[in-house]
Amino acid sequence: MQTIRQLPDLRDAVSGFRAAGERVAFVPTMGALHAGHMALVAEAKLAAPRVIVSIFVNPKQFAPGEDLARYPRKEQADSRMLAAAGVDLLWMPPVEVMYPEGHATNIAVTGVSEPLDGAARPGHFDGVATVVAKLFNQVKPDIALFGEKDFQQLAVIRRMVADLDFDIDVRGVPTQRDDDGLALSSRNVYLAPEDRASAVALPRALGVAARAIEKGDDAQAALATARASLEAAGFDVDYVELVDAASLGTPVAGQPRRLLAAARIAGTRLIDNVSVAEPE
Q: Which of 39, 48, 128, 213 binds ligand PAF (CB under 6 A)?
A: 128
Q: Which of 134, 124, 116 is nearest to 258 (CA)?
A: 116
65: left (phi over 0), alpha (psi -120 to 50) or beta: left
Element (H, E) at 13: helix 7-19
Residue 81, annotated as binding a ligand = no
**Cα angle vertex 272, ends 68, 246, to 5°?**
105
Told to judge if 124 belongs to the known catalytic residues of this protein, a careful annotator would answer no
Nearer to ligand PAF, 43 or 150 (CB): 150
CA dist., res. 32 & res. 55, Å (int): 9
118 binds ligand PAF, rule: CB under 6 A: no
Task: Sheet containing 268-276: give its strands across.
Answer: 236-244, 257-265, 268-276
Contact letters for ligand PAF, residues 152-191 (x by CB under 6 A): -x--------------------------------------
Residue 148, annotated as binding a ligand = yes
CA dist., res. 279 & res. 261, Å (int): 20
Closest separation in Å from C-beta 128 to ligand PAF: 5
Q: Which of 30, 48, 98, 243 binds ligand PAF (CB under 6 A)?
A: 30
Catalytic residue numbers read 37
User: Which residues are known binding-site members for (R)-pantoate?
Assistant: 61, 153
Q: Could you list the residues that contact ligand PAF (CB under 6 A)?
A: 28-30, 58, 61, 128, 131-132, 150, 153
